[in-house]
Amino acid sequence: MTKILVVDDESDLEILIKQKFRKKIRENEYDFLFAANGKIALELLEEHLDVDVILSDINMPVMDGLTLLTHISELNSILKAVVVSAYGDMENIRTAMNRGAFDFITKPVNFQDLELTINKTAHHVLQLRETLAAIKENNILKMYVDETVLNFMGVKNMKAQ
C-alpha cells in the first residue's frame, strides 16, 4: 500500500481526492493523510513514519510548501514530495526542484497524470528503501562472514557498496 500525505489548505481537496481515488482506497492500494499546511504535515510525518509520497501545494498559511520541502529532506531523505500548485511558473518549479521536489504538477490537476506521478514516485521510494536494506544486509553479512567465502558465493565488491 502506498501511503500519501496531501498538504493543501483547500478544504474541498480531501473530498475530491477521496472521490477520484475511491477504488484505489477501497482496494488498499492508496492510503491518504491530509494536512492544511506544512507545520501540520511535519507533525503527521513524525507520527506516520511509513508515508511514501507527499503531495504539497506551495501557497499555504503557517508554513508554505517550499519551506516544507527543506524540512522533509532533514526529516527523511528517502521520502519524496510532488508539488501540486497553480503557480507553475519556471521560478517556482526551479525553487521546488532545488529544494528536493521529485516532480511538479500544475493545477487544475489532471488526475490520470497525478496517478501516474504518484505511482512513479512511490516506485522510486520503494527502490531506495530496498537498496538501503540490501546495503545494511551486506554490511551485516561482512561482519560475520569471511570475504573469501563471500567472493566464492558470488558476492563480489562488498567494499565498493
CATH number (domain holding residue 58): 3.40.50.2300
How many CB atoms are closer than 10 A to CB 64?
17
In a domain, 18, yes or no: yes
In a domain, 138, yes or no: no
For residue 116 the three cell numbers come to 501516474
In a domain, 59, yes or no: yes
pLDDT at 152: 58
pLDDT at 159: 43
Q: Which strands, in side-by-side order, build the sheet including 80-85?
A: 30-35, 2-7, 53-56, 80-85, 101-106
Q: How many structural domains are present in the chain?
A: 1
pLDDT at 117: 95
What is the domain extent for residue 59? 2-131
In a domain, 137, yes or no: no
In a domain, 153, yes or no: no
Percent of the chain's residues with pLDDT above 90: 55
Per-residue pLDDT of 91-133, as tens digits, reads 888 989 999 899 999 888 899 999 999 999 999 988 888 888 7
In a domain, 146, yes or no: no
In a domain, 93, yes or no: yes
pLDDT at 143: 65
In a domain, 97, yes or no: yes
Per-residue pLDDT of 12-35, as tens digits, reads 889 999 999 999 999 999 999 999
